[in-house]
Structure 1
Amino acid sequence: MAHFDTVMRDYMQARGISAGSLAVSRQGRIALARGYTWADPAVATTRETDVFRIASLSKNIAGTAAMLLAQRGDLDLDAPVGDFVDLSPLPGRTADPRLGQVTVRRALQHLGGWNRDVSGDPLWRDHALAAESGFGLPLSEEDVVAHVSGLPLDAAPGTAYSYSNYGYLLVSRVIAAVTGSTFEDFTVSDVLGPVDVARMRAGRSLAQGQAGEVRYESKYTATTVLDASGAKVPTPYGGFNLENQLGNGGWVASAVDLVRYCTVYDTPGAAGVLTPASIDEVMAVPETGGGATHYGLGWYVRPTANGRNTWHFGSMPGTYTFLARSNGYTIAALFNRRGEGDGLNWGEIDPKLWSAVNAVGTWPSEDLTPRYF
């Protein structure tokens, strides 16, 4: 198993990453769990159970929760989002008539019609959005939805794939409306509870010093979006509003939590959350944007000779994450900084970790799951 340590060490040292975490499972059994620390001796040692912001790995959490409601008959994934969420624009503004064609499934598959390269990402434009709409800071989810509902879509829903964090904000609000709970509470009780994952929770913008959570690092500062003071803050701590991003990128989790959560997909019978038929629906080819690789309900999906390779990366200031499943193996790798103009290939963690999997001659017989759950 030393190959994994070599990959993580070399990757972190080349990028100046002080905290990392890795977990690997095989057929639903945790085979490896490590915390990695590379920094001044004064930096706290990273433990296997320390949590990190997982950024866009959060999207398959939302996809799983929505699919579970559909499996129970409580949610029609092809129903318009507007059946559950108030999409009324601000007074004096008019909604795009195509907004009614945005279904829950299309939002999950990034087919809602929003293109952040054209109109920007509203979850990362707090100051501009507040100025354009007259809202105070911090913005609420309701503020963001009211603002975006008065903007024209960039494409007709269902016609073009374009990665959209905003679509996942809407999905999280759909889940809350259907369950009569909060998105976090429903997910914790009905998705994570059955597989005994208790550390995962909604992250907080100001999480410095929170027990069990790593320190996020960035060389940049930003003007806070949490109030109108104009104060300069470290970008990971107030440079963006994490509370508005739970659906698309706001969860915190440890690497062992993530591979344990993936037993929902790896060993569905034992996990008891999604049925095989529901998992097939999560991974199904969308109405457009299919091909050798496509986007399911929160996962990138590539069919293989032995089944499916499914994965996701996550990235936000102070965080870089990777989660992948293939041929019975699941890997989660988490880091407390991301690339900031260094010119390095951060995505190479993917092939390097799979090379480490292939380099293992004999896997340990012990299942480490009882140590952590």
Structure 2
Amino acid sequence: MKQLSARGILKCHMMFLIIGGISLALPGRAIGNEWRATHGVDSQQLLKFISDASKAGMRPEFVQGFDAGDSAQFAAIAVKDGREWKLSHALDAKAFQQAFDRFTRQQYRLACVSGYRDGVRVCFTGIWVKDQRPLIAWRARHGIPAADYQDVFDESVKNNFMPVHVQGLTTPVGEVEFSALFQPVEVQPVQATSWIARHNLSATDYQEIFDLQKEMRPVSASAYPTKDGTRFTLVMIKDQTSFIARHGLSSDDYQKFFDTAVADDFRPTCISGYLEDGTLRYAAIFIKDRMPKTRPATNHPVSGRRIPQLSPLDRIMLSFMRDRSIPAGTLSVSRNGGIPFSRGYGWSDDARRHTLSPDASFRIASLTKPMTAACIYKLEQEGKLHRSDSAFGYLGKGILADSGVDARFRDITIQHLLEHQGGFDRDKSGDPMFNSLEVSKDLSVPPPARPDDIVRWMIGRPLDFTPGTQTHYSNFGYCVLGRIIEKVSGMKYVDYLREHVMLPLNAPTVRVASTLAEFREKDEPIYYDPGKAPSVFAADRTERVPLPYGGFCIESMDSHGGLLASAPDLVKFLNQYWIDGRPRGPNESKSHLFFGSLPGTHTCFVQRTDGVVWAVLFNQRADSSNLDYNVIQEQIDAALDEVDWP
């Protein structure tokens, strides 16, 4: 059994099927959260399923082909989410690569790929979805020989990608090949705090992982015959979504399982068929979001000056929030330095008596990191530090003097921390910023653990890799940067940020957020999340509390994800600094995108090459619709592409 752990090719409202090289246009586009599924169908039945789903306003989300003996059979899932799509079906490797290249140029991204044996042929079927702007690099591979798969995986992991879909197949000559999709770790919803991937699993190994990984949820699985028996691939993430999974089911047993699962409000996300001793069997994954719709968010009030030319943005925001039952959100858009559009949607209070202001302050999660980077560049301009300096050398004499300290800590530079190359991999050793109770217990300090406590705790642990050799998204690295800013400036992190970066921009709302609801700002909305956890505060150690209000200590996250800010102030920042923290120069033109996410928080800001920047903030990141939250970036950018600016 091979263990693959780390971050696991593509960027790619009309809909098309490419069938053996023939294009067929399909009508229809709709918004909603309906789904339908099929299994054990042949190629023509698959195409009819997709055509019927498209006419009902749905798109294919998942397709997997498998060897059923004389010919291939398929399983498929269709959903109604309003995204544009294309599908290539029954292509050989060369034709599939040509389709891949063509659709990528049209800004479609491969979202599902299946390699399968159809008689004496190896074929590929893929689903592409529309990305309105090519800001996110995805990776895809098909037809990877088994001997090369580990190298492909390791190279993707080294570059901070994680697998989201892996399928194995056995060719007509008995060789095993893999198809796989990888995405940047920062694109994965943050509730997926860790993940694992495996391939070449026996049925016993496959079941053992489910038995051991009680807090992990499968997102991709496939089964394929080999000379050594049936083998499985598996990708799992750590989040709070309820799921059920089965394997080794006959066709009749799978149908019974399907009917029972659907009756319990589960829906399929992955269906894999495979031959075992001449019998067709199925492995499947079903999910049910645990977020109840207890606060349906409909008929949102809207605040702020209405701009007729930008009214499509209002429609997008209201539809997006209604479909996901989001109570509160703000959107600000700046063009050439001005802010022509700033709107609030929904309510600032739980009783829904007070309309949310466009200037309302929200937790911004990881949108904090570009501001921390800007402070580092500012201090370098002032001659107070250099990015090539040893990072931990700024934190006090003797901090690395203990003989048990990993010697590589001395090699970590400030630049390494800025670029997530400091030697910290949360998928291997966990994220200390969310381990407050463990840190407090180990150090015998009162909870919640403070940033200096967390730094001291981490120095006592070995690094996960040699600094500068890998890239792994690190909240802790930015926690250290915050402490460096304090040591060098002689000021609290947030005070230096406000005085030297934000106040010169007339952006006064930035400050450290408060964990407990009773201390939230007057204009700050309530945050919603289905999860609960033990409180990180000493007085409440035995109590399970809502995740946004005691499941973590946001004050200790100050320099990586603990700030509060308004959307207008964020676009002011984006007008003066690039998202990597560098000051913007005259006539520079770049595209940048950054997401932030915490329980109860989903945020995004974007810099475009046309001089437009925008920021959107929501008080929720999960709900029972199972709809994608990151798609808001594509929808807003698509609307801005069409604006006739006032």
TM-score (norm 1): 0.83
Cα separation, 2, equivalents of 1:155 and 1:195: 39
Q: For residue 342 of structure 1, report the CA deviation from its aligned partner.
A: 5.0
Cα separation, 2, equivalents of 1:337 and 1:275: 31
Residues 87 and 14 (structure 1), Cα distance of their counterparts in 2 relative to 1, 3 Å cut:
farther
Cα separation, 1, equivalents of 2:350 and 2:440: 40
Question: What aligned pairs does 1:99-138 form with structure 2 within 5 A after superposition?
Answer: 99-138=409-448
Q: For residue 41 of structure 1, report the CA deviation from its aligned partner.
A: 7.0
**1:26 lines up with 2:335 in the alignment:** yes
Q: Is the 8 A contact 2:485 2:493 kept in 1?
A: yes
Q: Is the 8 A contact 1:63 1:108 kept in 2?
A: yes
**1:323 lines up with 2:605 in the alignment:** yes
Q: Select 1:180's aligned residue among 490, 507, 516.
A: 490
SS in 2 for 1:213: coil
Q: Which residue of 1 aligns with 2:638?
A: 355
Question: What aligned pairs does 1:283-362 form with structure 2 within 5 A after superposition?
Answer: 307-327=589-609, 328-339=611-622, 342-361=625-644
1:60-109 deviations in whole A, cap 9, x for unaligned?
A: 00000100111121111110111111496799882111001111111011
Question: What aligned pairs does 1:207-356 form with structure 2 within 5 A after superposition?
Answer: 207-208=517-518, 209-227=520-538, 229-265=541-577, 274=583, 276=585, 307-327=589-609, 328-339=611-622, 342-356=625-639
Q: Is the 8 A contact 1:314 1:322 kept in 2?
A: yes
Q: For residue 35 of structure 1, report the CA deviation from its aligned partner.
A: 0.2
SS in 1 for 2:559: coil
Q: For residue 343 of structure 1, report the CA deviation from its aligned partner.
A: 2.9
1:224-275 deviations in whole A, cap 9, x for unaligned?
A: 1022532222211111011111110011111111011222138xxxxxx936
Cα separation, 2, equivalents of 1:89 and 1:96: 12
Count of paired positions: 330
Q: Which residue of 1 aligns with 2:168?
A: none
Q: Which amino acid aligns with 1:176?
A: E
Q: Select 2:373's aligned residue among 60, 63, 66.
A: 63
Cα separation, 1, equivalents of 2:500 and 2:612: 24
SS in 2 for 1:84: helix
Q: Is the 8 A contact 1:49 1:254 kept in 2?
A: yes
TM-score (norm 2): 0.49
Q: Which amino acid aligns with 1:170?
A: V
The structure with the largest strand share of the pair is 2
Question: What aligned pairs does 1:165-176 form with structure 2 within 5 A after superposition?
Answer: 165-176=475-486
Q: Which residue of 1 aligns with 2:319?
A: 10
Q: For residue 127 of structure 1, report the CA deviation from its aligned partner.
A: 2.0
Q: Is the 8 A contact 2:575 2:584 kept in 1?
A: no
Cα separation, 2, equivalents of 1:259 and 1:231: 39
Q: For residue 358 of structure 1, report the CA deviation from its aligned partner.
A: 1.2
SS in 1 for 2:449: coil
Q: For residue 126 of structure 1, report the CA deviation from its aligned partner.
A: 1.5
Cα separation, 2, equivalents of 1:93 and 1:239: 35
Q: Is the 8 A contact 2:324 2:623 kept in 1?
A: no
1:31-56 deviations in whole A, cap 9, x for unaligned?
A: 10000017987353111111000000
Q: Is the 8 A contact 1:195 1:263 kept in 2?
A: no
Gaps of 5+ in 2: 1-309
Q: For residue 201 of structure 1, report the CA deviation from its aligned partner.
A: 0.9
Measured on the aligned residues, the alpha-carbon RMSD in Å equals: 2.4
Gaps of 5+ in 1: 267-272, 280-305, 365-373
Q: Is the 8 A contact 1:87 1:149 kept in 2?
A: no
SS in 2 for 1:94: coil
Q: Which residue of 2 aligns with 1:293?
A: none
Residues 275 and 49 (structure 1), Cα distance of their counterparts in 2 relative to 1, 3 Å cut:
closer
Identify the structure with bigger relative contact order (alpha carbons < 8 Å, sequence gap 6+).
1
Q: Which amino acid aligns with 2:622?
A: G
Q: Is the 8 A contact 1:90 1:150 kept in 2?
A: no
Residues 88 and 335 (structure 1), Cα distance of their counterparts in 2 relative to 1, 3 Å cut:
farther
Q: Which amino acid aligns with 2:387?
A: L
Q: For residue 167 of structure 1, report the CA deviation from its aligned partner.
A: 0.3
**1:46 lines up with 2:329 in the alignment:** no
SS in 1 for 2:560: coil
Identity %, equivalent residues: 33
Residues 126 and 93 (structure 1), Cα distance of their counterparts in 2 relative to 1, 3 Å cut:
farther
SS in 1 for 2:317: helix
Cα separation, 1, equivalents of 2:397 and 2:626: 41
Q: For residue 276 of structure 1, report the CA deviation from its aligned partner.
A: 2.8
Q: Is the 8 A contact 1:255 1:333 kept in 2?
A: yes
Cα separation, 1, equivalents of 2:477 and 2:561: 12
1:282-312 deviations in whole A, cap 9, x for unaligned?
A: xxxxxxxxxxxxxxxxxxxxxxxx8321121
Q: Which residue of 2 aligns with 1:368?
A: none
Residues 135 and 342 (structure 1), Cα distance of their counterparts in 2 relative to 1, 3 Å cut:
farther
Residues 63 and 147 (structure 1), Cα distance of their counterparts in 2 relative to 1, 3 Å cut:
same
Cα separation, 2, equivalents of 1:206 and 1:88: 35
Cα separation, 1, equivalents of 2:624 and 2:445: 33
SS in 1 for 2:595: strand
Moved beyond 6 Å, runs of 4+: 38-41, 87-93
Q: Which amino acid aligns with 1:227?
A: A
Q: For residue 204 of structure 1, report the CA deviation from its aligned partner.
A: 1.1
Q: Is the 8 A contact 1:90 1:147 kept in 2?
A: no
